[in-house]
Amino acid sequence: MLGRWQWAMAVGLVAGVFSAGCSKPAPVRSEAAPAAGAPSFKAVGPSRQVMLAITIPASETVFNAAAEPPTTDEQWVSVERAALALAESGNLLLIPGRAVDEGEWSRFSHMLIDTAAQAYAASQAKDIEGVSEAGNAIYEACEGCHKKYLPQPAAP
């Protein structure tokens, strides 16, 4: 049988657990909370690193598929994943802190998203012509953006 002290501790413990479970959680404080309904994205690395880590390797896989068409399911999945990563890298380039401006930068980023999405759909259908056509459009989007935003070496 429980002693008075043990009984009081048991009742106190049960009451504490019950009241903690029924109370509202403490509000989470954020230093810079976004406006209600606004997405909260945080650029971790600069545009150049996104290009080097995601955009360029993914685009090379899509471009190479046109030159050497996939022959196995595994190869098609590789092209599909690369096309998806390429499309999503266009979204990453639009994150505040990474986007250069709202005009041409945004237009070229959306062109990348749209054309890479076409490559993604074509790769899911195992349509090499579709992947190739989308690859050409991806190349045009990249070239247009690079002509405007990529620093060019000075002429000798």
What does the pLDDT look like over 17-26, one tens digit per residue?
334 344 444 4
User: Given 3-state DSSP classes, what are the helix, strand and coil percentages for the chain, each rounded to the nearest 5?
Assistant: 65, 0, 35
The span from the first CA to the last CA of the chain, in angstroms, equals: 96
- Residues found in the chain: 156
Structural domains in the chain (count):
1
What CATH number has the domain bearing residue 101?
1.20.120
Tokens of 145: 């953006």
Contact 141, 111 (CB under 8 A): yes
Using DSSP, state whether 57 is helix, strand or coil: helix
User: Which pLDDT does position 151 carry in this prediction?
Assistant: 81
pLDDT > 70? residue 7: no
Contact 61, 82 (CB under 8 A): yes
Residues 140 and 89: their CA atoms lie apart, in Å, by: 16
Do the domain assignments include residue 9?
A: no
Do the domain assignments include residue 75?
A: yes
Do the domain assignments include residue 14?
A: no
Do the domain assignments include residue 155?
A: no
Query: What is the residue range of 114's domain?
Result: 47-148
pLDDT one-digit tens code per residue, 63-111: 999 999 999 999 999 999 999 999 999 999 999 988 888 789 999 999 9
Neighbours of 121 (CB within 10 A): 16
Do the domain assignments include residue 122?
A: yes
Do the domain assignments include residue 73?
A: yes
Do the domain assignments include residue 23?
A: no
Using DSSP, state whether 126 is helix, strand or coil: coil
Please count the CA atoms within 13 angstroms of the CA of 101 that sit on its side-chain side. Answer: 8
Do the domain assignments include residue 29?
A: no
pTM: 0.73
